[in-house]
Chains A and B, each alone.
Chain A
Amino acid sequence: MKLKTPQILILLLVSTLQLSFAQSKIIMGTVTNASGPIPGVNVAIKGTSNITLTDFDGNYKISANEGDIIIYSYVGMLTAEKTVSKTHTINVQLKESVESLQQVVVTALGISKAKKTVGYAISEYHGEEISETQTINPINALQGKVSGLDISAPPTPGGTQNVIIRGASSFDNIQPLYIVDGIPITNIQSRGGDNLNSQADYGSGINGINPDDIEKLTVLKGAAATALYGSRAANGVILITTKSGEDGKLKVNFNSSLTISKVGFLPKRQTQFGQGWSGDRALDENGNWGAEYDGVDRVWGNIVDNSQQIKPNLYLENNLRDFYDYGQNFKNSISLSGGSKTNTFFLSASHNKIDGVIPTNSDSYNRYTLSTKGSHTVDKLKLSSSINFSKERISVVPSGQGTSLSRSLNEIANELSIVDFKDLENKFNNLDNYFTPYGVNPYFILDQNSAIQNKHKFFGKGEAEYNVSDQLKVIYRFSGDYESYTSNKTTGIIAYSEGSHNEGSSTETPGEYIQTKGERIQFSHDAMLTFSKDFTKDFSVNTLVGLNINERSRSSLTGSISSIDVPNFYHLSNTLATATATQTSRKRRLVGAYISADLGFKEYLYLNATLRNDWSSTLPLDNNSFLYGGVNTSFILSEFLTSIKSKPEFLTLSKFRIAYGSTGDDTDSYKVYDRYVVGSSTNPGYPDIDDLIFPLGGVNSYTVSNVLGNSNLKPQITSEFEIGLENSFFRNRFGFEISYYNKLTEDLINTLPIDPSSGYTQITTNLGNIRNRGVELNVNVVPVKTKDFKWVMNWAYTKNNNMIEKLNVEEVLLAGFGNGSGIYALEGMPIGQYKFTQSEVVDVNGIESIVVDGNGNPQQTSDPILSGKDINEKFRAGLTNTFTYKGVSLRGTLDLKYGGYIYSGTKDYMHWVGSSPESVLNDRNAFIIPNSVVRNSDGSYSENNTPVNPTALHTFYSNGGFDGESYSVIDKSYLKLRNVILSYALPEKFCDKIKVSKIALSLTANNFLLWKHKDNHYIDPETTTFGNNVDAKFGEYNANPNQETYTFGVNIQL
């Protein structure tokens, strides 16, 4: 019923307008401000499209009717309204808007503060900016927009974002804390497999949030900003405030979109040489080491039933691209909100259905979200609650070695049409007769292997706020987050018939089925007491005392069988050997008490101080308490100048801020005590090799764990100094915000691998100190602004310098391979130094020479050595341009990362199968490595005369060519056209006619242009398959490609 009133009103309004047009007259006047006339002021008749601008002298003319309301608006000025009376002249003096000063931001614990009072950097984004990018995960929308924030998005729909704020200040968890409406969100990555094998990224908790529900997203970067959140916020905080109901009319917001996605970047390949090995054409090979393409029709594949297939011997440009499909994404979301003086409510529901670019629905994502929020006020008591539910089903195509899809595609020579393998019933395509025993038909992999996770997430809160007096308020909040998931991973049986072409292939597997069920529970109690008082006209105080209790627990149970009995039936009972089970559970608690005080002097000087003490269950009992805090101050020069009446005209806002803060951090559970684990003896040599594990012969046994407990663990403390300047000129036509921070993390806690001679192989310990220093810059410019057209530019720039200032051990391997190749932390160097084995180089008579072996191939160094490359980019920058013309707006964001390196397993593999563009050097004829020498038996060196054998080029290239194994570490610089959004809001008049308040249509394209470093022929440098912390920066191991998306969206608001 409620809905009817405004509709009737609109009807009435429309008819009145039509009636009154006949009596129009011309109104004239001048628009001025304190310093004189203003040109270019927007003068409009409310509710019509009748608009004009003031001229150079501030004069305007507009036709209006008596009773009309004229609206005068200008950037940086308060909008004025005048009602047309009998007179023909209306002069207006506009007042300067102090909007930029009154801007309210959400700070720690959800406390809203005027931005001017805040003494640290804070970045805030409105919900619309997020939802218009049409990303599934809200954080993706920020790519390229927020300085100080490093976001890497996964290539697969529904995957996990890697978000790092102000550089890595730890060796393990460096993800920020996500808080939604005061509820800490569990954001642990769900994963199947491991870095190298069957890696499946099932996404993290933040995916359970519908981007359309977001009202505001705030990034708290520094220690001073996050100190109140305690140790959990050591890596920064992302605060999300969702929409809520307001007093007044019922609002309905409907979003619908259709997305088409296509495969993005695919590796560049050599186009010269065909299928084969050792230089000879061979029809059963998985490599491109054969003869040159000659264009002649030739038979290929195996002979089956006395027949063989025939095709021209030519490079196929698009055989890989053609393999991928167009993906689709349908999204619908609706929200209702409203309320009265005492009650408010918000209700939303959404559904996303995505099928990615890999054929079949094996890469798909399906999400439902439901969200409700409400509040009720009785007297001095306000009760509010929120309940959110999400249901996700994600299906992933695992990456890695073995018979992964990526490997299977790479095993197909560049001359073979991949789509023609689709029909698995075709006698040439079945397992027995597939052309190579070294790989498996990719369609078989898609058909048989799967990795699917179903996840349910509930999070919500109940909150009571009691105003004891105007000055004193008590708040209690109980919040919780519950996730439960079930993942199923299947690997189909690969078996070959006796005597068949592929009999004895090492791809044979008895199949596998793994089911994991788990849950993650987090709950918090928060109690706060706030007191605020204006002591004098010029002096105000706000204080806050609070207590926070947080408990996090998780558990999982995994059952697996590794020998499937009846094919295609995946159940723990369908096995030839006993099913095995594993079980884990963890729990941790944190208690925190804090106090915060804000002092304000006049309108231009603010000071805030916080102090918090945490008690953590993960630290040794007698050393589990740690105290930290911070002070920050902000001085608003423009206000000060105003108060002494000497503010220059061009200056809109000038704020100087300075902050110092520290946060402590604990570690994971169970790092303090020694333990015994079930006896086992490791059998390396993956894949498919199991360790020997007790019980044996009916006897169980235990062993001293390799993990040494550490009862001397101390909390790690991060202290950060930050200074910033926020300036805005010419009524916000030009503005910038610059911050410098210097953040030192001391006693950082990490797992330290130790010499097994000590009896143990690892301990969690305080390892050293790491410093991040950087500059963040945001610049806003409005180069053009006319009545209908506006151009806004935002530029975000970040430079972070990371340095490990102290390390108690020589080095720490952060991520990599079992042989020691990987990224390391070393004292005196930025985090993430690549170490790989390389070609051995010696100085012979002043010439740097490569030492080669008897086959003319470079000798590798026996241990990995520093390659002088690291994971850190030199800088990041983002540029967003927004053009609006009447209801049309066009926005584009460019995202640049410059410098830094990444490991590409795809490159390594393409060198093995001979498809890499580099592998055609010297047209694959014999060559002697320039400046190469052989080591003589007496240790001296003599010139090498042995050329690299053209029939063993696979050995040369797969060992890294001239460089050795470090060749797969490539420059990861890129420039991406992150998104382009064209949107059109239908004219208000039209909307009024059909009784809606807004209709907007949009076209969004994401990730469709990528420029990368010239040496990177292989991967989208954002890709990773190594988790989502520092280790993720290591690189990718046979990852799936990324995708481009094109979305048509509709937004209707009632």
Chain B
Amino acid sequence: MKRQLLKITSVFLLIFTISCEDYLDINEDPNVLSSTDQAKIILPTAEVNLANTLMGWDLGFGGGFWSEYWTQSYTASQFKTLCEYEDGSATSFENAYEKLTAGVLIDTQRIKALALANEETGYVYISEALAIYTWQVITDLWGEIPYTEALKGNTGVLAPAFEKGEDIYVDLEVRVDQLLATDINTLSEIDADYDFIYGGDLTKWKQFVNSLKLKIMMRQSETEFYNNDEVISFVSGTTFLSESAKISGSYWKDSEEEKRHPMREFEEGGASYLSTNVIGCKNFIDYLKSNGDPRLEVLFVTSEDEHEGAFFGDFDARADSDADGILDADESYSKASFAPDSPLMILSDWEINFFIAEAHARAGDVIKAKQHYDLGVLNSLTQHGINDKSIIVSGYASWVNGNVEENIKQIAMQKWVANAHYQHCESFIERNRTKYPTVDEIDIKLDRQEASRNFPIGSLTISVNGRDKTNGFLPSSPIYPSDILGRNTNAPGQKRDLLEKIWWDKKTGK
């Protein structure tokens, strides 16, 4: 009897335990997609997120201010901290870091993994190219970052170790060379709808990878690792992108929330950041104005007869710098303008032409330098929809055969102009490499009217309010986001200020 009872109880318990297991197996979140084997459905997010980040809140505004295209308006204060070089949360570009790592890079990694499992080699190729590109942006901005151990949260690595920028570059070059060695004809096809950049055209992706390799080489121009001959030999015989890698403006629906170009969203979304917080900066506006550059009218709008920009980082002043009877704070400054169908640029055709031009200029081949320089400027004008090429032919942008340094400067100055409203982050990084535009040390606060009369057109100036913060230097790199410092036990200490240089930032100058 006792044994029977025991048996019955055991059977009963077994049934209970088994059914209990099923009963409790309800922990898959019904609100999300729990799994997929399709690499392609992640690709659009990776591409759009990358492009959106490059011209988004941190890098779009930060790059725009630090490249002195724009400055903070007198009557609002949203971006004051950026414009006075405050080393705080605004200048760590935390959101951009998070989007590039936990957004773009984890997505490209997953695309690669899913595609490899399904032998979709085309997606492997694209996602690897995007990953290399993104890694370069991150290390060019913050310098020493987690790399080898990064993106391994799902294997338990929650505090990845940091690596030196130069070491990361070494590996990026290895990775880009692996892609270059791939025969694109052997790759699987890409669903055109899911590739927002090149519509699944692997030939264009091959050109993108070539261009990426060039960009990585050129960034090291001031370091011991740079070999101009190698660059020239790579350039000759290589086809670079002829179509900018970008998210076309045709993807936006400007009348709808959640579907706009980021800068349009910051303006139209109801927050009016562009119209209330951003005004044209005198350094950029005066350069375009005095040189009759037609891009001024496309980039900015004004309610006055002519465009006017403000001193960089000067918002507490109660002065009338241009002595026109209107206080600076009450002037109608030019305002940044973005068309509803503006594209988001990732790697531009002008950028590549300017790199090629620079390599040739360094090699003393002024003919090829001029050829690509002219193409670069032309690319920029075309991007703005400007047919008038007179600035290249007879205007201020026409090629002057100067010495190597002068030629580099001319290329850099046009890159500065071309990048406005498209590649603010790249503009900031490239200025740190080339040191063009140069910095004029004028202390505007000493005599604003004098500064206005004799403004150093074609130079950058130190933020009026941030001068003491950086001791008269421009920022060299953002500080580390507190996201990393507080969460990663392997993180180094915070940077002392915004003046810490990236390893390739070797050229003298402010």
Chain A residues with CB under 8 A of B325: none
Contact of B160 among A585, A694, A758, A934 (CB under 8 A): A758
> Judging by beta carbons under 8 Å apart, are A708 and B153 in contact?
yes
- Stretch from B172-180, B354-362, B487-495 contacting the other chain: B487-495
Number of interface residues of A (CB under 8 A): 96
The answer to whether A754 touches B158 (Cβ under 8 A) is yes
Given A617-B24, A854-B465, do A702 and B153 touch, yes or no (CB 8 Å)? no
Asked whether B461 is an interface residue with its Cβ less than 8 Å from the other chain, the reply is no
Residues of A within 8 A of B34 (CB): 673-676
A811 to B486, CA, bound (A): 7
Contact A697 B27 (CB under 8 A): no
User: CB < 8 Å: which of A583, A618, A674, A853 contacts B468?
Assistant: A853
* A621, B468: Cβ atoms closer than 8 Å: no
A682 to B270, CA, bound (A): 16
Hey, which chain B residues are within 8 Å of A504, CB to CB?
275-276
CB contacts under 8 Å to B, within A900-918, are none
Q: CA A580 – CA B256 in complex, angstroms?
A: 10
Closest residue on chain B to residue A583 by CB atoms: B31
Interface positions of B from 46 to 91, Cβ below 8 Å from A: 46, 48-49, 52-53, 56-58, 76, 78, 86-90
Partner pick for B29 among A670, A679, A759, CB 8 A cutoff? A670
Residues of B within 8 Å of A673, CB to CB, are 27-29, 34
Q: Does A681 contact B467, Cβ atoms closer than 8 Å?
A: no
B26 touches A589 (CB 8 A): yes
Interface residues of B in 132-173 (CB under 8 A from A): 145-146, 150-154, 157-160
* B153 touches which of A562, A699, A758 (Cβ 8 Å): A758
Inter-subunit contact B95/A684 (CB<8 Å) = yes
> Does residue B450 face the partner (Cβ distance < 8 Å to A)?
no
Task: Convert A558-574 into 0s and 1s, putting 1 for each residue whose CB lies closer than 8 angstroms to a CB of B.
Answer: 00001100000000000
Contacts known (A756-B484, A759-B153, A855-B316); A683 close to B86, Cβ less than 8 A: no
Q: Nearest chain-B residue to A619 (Cβ)?
A: B27
Partner of B270, one of A510, A584, A696: A510
Given A580-B258, A757-B146, verify A587-B45 contact (CB < 8 Å).
no
Q: Which candidate, B102-110, B200-208, B451-459, is the interface stretch facing chain A?
A: B102-110
Q: With an 8 A cutoff between CB atoms, is B194 at the interface?
A: yes
| A-contact bits for B89-121, CB 8 A (1 contact / 0 none) | 110000101110111011101100000000000
A863 within 8 A of B: yes
Alpha-carbon distance A577/B255, docked complex (angstroms): 7
Question: Which residue of chain B has its CB nearest to the CB of A708?
Answer: B153
* Contact (Cβ within 8 A) A587 B26: yes
Q: How far is the CB of A865 from chain B (nearest CB, A)?
A: 11
Question: Nearest Cβ distance between residue A552 and chain B, in whole angstroms?
Answer: 11
Contacts A506-B272, A759-B153; A702 near B487 (Cβ below 8 A): no
Contact B482 A820 (CB under 8 A): yes
Instruction: Give the contact-size bracket for chain B.
Output: 35 or more
Number of A-B contacts (CB under 8 A): 288
| Chain A 663-685 near chain B by CB (<8 Å), digits 1 or 0 | 00000011011111101111111
Q: Does any Cβ of A come within 8 Å of B265's Cβ?
A: yes
- Please give, as numbers and ranges, the residues of chain A lying within 8 Å of B260 by CB-CB distance: 692
Option from A589, A689, A818 in Cβ contact (under 8 Å) with B24: A589
Instruction: Assess whether B101 is in contact with A756, with CB atoms less than 8 Å apart.
Output: yes
Q: Which residue in A580, A701, A753, A860 is a CB contact (below 8 Å) of B41?
A: A701
Q: How far is the CA of A504 from the CA of B469 in the complex (A)?
A: 33
Q: Contacts A615-B24, A684-B95, A862-B87 given: A759-B152 contact, CB under 8 Å?
A: yes
In the assembled complex, which residues on chain A have CB atoms less than 8 Å from the CB atom of B110?
Answer: 704
Residue of A whose beta carbon sits closest to that of B24: A617
Q: Is B318 an interface residue (CB 8 A)?
A: yes
Q: Which residues from chain B contact A709 at a C-beta distance below 8 Å?
A: 154
Q: Is the CB of B489 within 8 A of A759?
A: no
Give the residues from 725 to 775 in chain A that come closer than 8 angstroms, CB to CB, to chain B: 753-761, 763
Shortest beta-carbon distance, A687 to chain B, in Å? 6
Q: Which residues of the other chain, A, contact B101 by a CB distance below 8 angstroms?
A: 756-759
Q: Is A591 an interface residue (CB 8 A)?
A: yes
The CA-CA distance from A809 to B159 in the complex, in Å, is 10
**A689 with B32: CB separation less than 8 A:** no
Which residues from chain A contact B154 at a C-beta distance below 8 Å? 674, 708-709, 759-760
A635 CB to nearest B CB, Å: 37
A-chain residues with CB within 8 Å of residue B479 when the two chains form the complex: 862
Q: Within 8 Å of chain B (Cβ to Cβ): is A928?
A: no
Taking a contact as CB atoms under 8 Å apart, the answer to whether B258 and A691 are in contact is yes
**A687 adjacent to B271 (CB under 8 Å):** yes
Known: A615-B20, A760-B153. A585 touches B30 (CB 8 A): yes
- Chain B CB within 10 Å — which of A278, A697, A862 has the most? A862
B56 and A683 within 8 A (CB): yes
Q: Let me know if A702 and B271 touch, CB within 8 A.
A: no
The docked-state distance in angstroms from the alpha carbon of A1007 to that of B57 is 46
Whole-angstrom distance from the CB of B191 to the nearest CB of chain A? Answer: 10
* Beta-carbon contact of A577 and B256 below 8 Å: yes
User: Which of the residues B160, B468, B471, B494 comes within 8 Å of A757, measured between beta carbons?
Assistant: B160
| A445–chain B nearest beta-carbon distance, Å | 16
Q: Contact: B24 with A809, CB < 8 Å?
A: no
Please give the distance in Å from B271's CB to the nearest CB on chain A: 5
Mark each residue of chain B from 466 to 503: 1 if its CB lies under 8 Å from any CB of chain A, else 0.
01110110000001001111111101001001000000
In the assembled complex, which residues on chain A have CB atoms less than 8 Å from the CB atom of B193?
698-699
Indicate if A624 sits at the interface (CB-CB under 8 A). yes
Asked whether B7 is an interface residue with its Cβ less than 8 Å from the other chain, the reply is no
* Bound Cα distance A87, B262 (Å): 102
Q: Please, which residues of chain A bring their CB within 8 A of the CB of B259?
A: 692-693, 696
**CB of B508 closer than 8 Å to a CB of A:** no
**Which parts of A627-684 form the interface with B (CB within 8 Å)?**
669-670, 672-677, 679-684
Q: A759-B151, A855-B465 are in contact. Are A693 and B258 (CB under 8 A)?
A: yes
Asked if B269 is at the interface of the complex by the 8 Å CB criterion, the answer is: yes
| Candidates A693, A755, A952; contact of B484 at CB < 8 Å | A755
Contact between chains at B27 and A618 (CB < 8 Å) = yes
Q: Distance (Å) between the CB of B369 and the closest chain A CB?
A: 37
Q: Which residues of B contact A837 (CB under 8 A)?
A: 88
Q: Is the CB of B45 within 8 A of A508?
A: no
In the complex, B12 has a CB within 8 A of chain A? no
Q: How far is the CA of A700 from the CA of B36 in the complex (A)?
A: 14
Which chain A positions have C-beta within 8 A of B4? none
Q: Is A540 interfacial (CB 8 A cutoff)?
A: no
Residues of A close to B57: CB separation below 8 A: 683-685
Contacts of B224 in A (CB 8 A): none
Residues on A with C-beta less than 8 A from B460 are: none
Pick the contact of B271 from A562, A670, A685, A810 — CB < 8 Å?
Answer: A685
B43 within 8 Å of A by Cβ?
yes
- Docked Cα-Cα span, A675 to B34, in Å, equals 5
In the assembled complex, A864 has its CB within 8 A of some CB on chain B: yes
For A853, the closest partner residue in chain B by CB is: B468
The minimal Cβ–Cβ distance linking B482 to chain A, given in whole angstroms, is 4
* B234 at interface, CB cutoff 8 A: no
Interface centre among A616, A704, A952 (most CB of B within 10 A): A704
- Docked CA distance A588–B31 (Å): 14
Contact sample, A vs B, 13 pairs, CB 8 Å cutoff: A504-B276, A586-B31, A617-B25, A676-B42, A681-B49, A692-B262, A694-B45, A704-B106, A755-B487, A757-B160, A757-B484, A760-B102, A860-B88
Query: Known contacts A615-B20, A697-B251, A855-B316; can you find 20 more A-B pairs with CB under 8 A?
Result: A506-B272, A576-B255, A587-B30, A618-B27, A675-B32, A680-B49, A681-B56, A685-B57, A687-B270, A692-B265, A699-B194, A754-B488, A758-B146, A758-B159, A759-B102, A759-B109, A761-B483, A809-B489, A810-B487, A863-B482
Q: Which 9 residue pairs spanning A and B have beta carbons closest together?
A: A679-B45, A688-B270, A758-B153, A759-B106, A701-B44, A755-B488, A670-B29, A819-B89, A756-B102
Interface residues of B (CB under 8 A from A): 20-21, 23-36, 41-46, 48-49, 52-53, 56-58, 76, 78, 86-90, 95, 97-99, 101-103, 105-107, 109-110, 145-146, 150-154, 157-160, 193-194, 196, 250-252, 255-260, 262, 265-266, 269-273, 275-276, 316, 318, 465, 467-469, 471-472, 479, 482-489, 491, 494, 497
